[in-house]
């Protein structure tokens, strides 16, 4: 099965610090996504990325978030100034038209 790889698996950061979550999506997929899951809640869409730009973002994805694909392989989610409520599991996903979406194993972000 195709793999989406995320690093790190767990990150602890101080409130106000910047974090970068990294993802290596499936090489021949063109559509990439970040999702978030606060502990005990459902998985929520954050942002989609296609052709090196954001194609859609949710109301959660405010100015403190940004995404980029700096080198054509890695896909990153940056949170500029973390808040306690940013503590969650963050999932990267890749998708190709007419097929299923594949999710990475997630990064558990803990803001203290």
Stretch that binds another protein, among 18-26, 65-73, 76-84, 100-108 (CB under 8 A): 100-108
User: How near is the Cβ of 53 to another protein at its closest, in Å?
Assistant: 15
Phi, psi (deg, nearest 5) at residue 108: -90, 115
User: How near is the Cβ of 78 to another protein at its closest, in Å?
Assistant: 20
Phi, psi (deg, nearest 5) at residue 109: -100, 125
Q: Which residues pair with 65 in a beta bridge?
A: 79
If binding is defined by CB under 8 A, does position 25 make contact with another protein? no
If binding is defined by CB under 8 A, does position 110 make contact with another protein? no
Query: Using CB under 8 A, which residues numbered 37 to 66 contact another protein?
Result: 37, 41-45, 48, 56
User: How far from each other are the two terminal CA atoms of the chain, in whole angstroms?
Assistant: 36
Burial class (CB in 10 A: 0-12, 13-18, 19+), 105: middle
If binding is defined by CB under 8 A, does position 69 make contact with another protein? no
């Amino acid at each position: 099965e195709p793999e989406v790889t995320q690093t790190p698996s767990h990150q602890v950061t101080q409130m106000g610090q910047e974090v970068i979550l990294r993802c290596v999506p499936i090489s021949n997929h063109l559509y990439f996504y970040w999702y978030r899951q606060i502990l005990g809640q459902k998985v929520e869409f954050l942002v989609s990325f296609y052709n090196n730009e954001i194609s859609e973002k949710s109301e959660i994805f405010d100015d403190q978030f940004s995404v980029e694909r700096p080198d054509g392989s890695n896909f990153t989610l940056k949170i500029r100034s973390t808040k306690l409520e940013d503590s969650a599991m963050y999932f990267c996903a890749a998708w190709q038209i007419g097929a299923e979406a594949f999710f990475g194993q997630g990064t558990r972000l803990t803001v203290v």
